[in-house]
Copies of this chain bind each other. A is one copy, B any other.
């Protein structure tokens, strides 16, 4: 079930708009990944177990809360992450199945390049 097809229910009254898989654009995904803060979010979520999500506050970003919220929104609208309300917090998860189906190898190449670069920076 894609995130946008979740129907509202009394326990989950608010839902956020997500592109369906076939609405996800390569350019929007590349643009979403082209920012270091958004790349940090994707890296964090990619490190979670399959199907697991994280609250925005779990990811330590070096930007203000409102800027962080903006970056999460760009990621959601591009189709990179799903966001669902859990109480007042949003639970974020990587849409890996959608991304791997649409753009095979892309996410792994970006995460691999990011990891290699961070390794170079440390050494």
Contact = CB atoms under 8 A, between A and B. Distances in A.
Interface stretch (A51-59, A80-88, A101-109): A101-109
Interface residues of A, number: 23
Interface stretch (A3-11, A60-68, A90-98, A110-118): A110-118
A45 interface: no
Summarize A's interface: helix, strand, loop or mixed: helix
Nearest to A30: B34
Which of A30, A114, A116 has the most chain B CB atoms closer than 10 A to its own CB? Answer: A30
Given A103-B109, A103-B113, A36 B30 contact: no
Contacts of A110: 26, 30, 103, 106
Nearest to A99: B113
Given A106-B109, A106-B110, A106-B113, A30 B27 contact: no
Contacts of A106: 106, 109-110, 113
A123 B39 CA distance: 33
A70 interface: no
A35 interface: yes
A31 interface: yes
A64 to B, nearest CB: 20
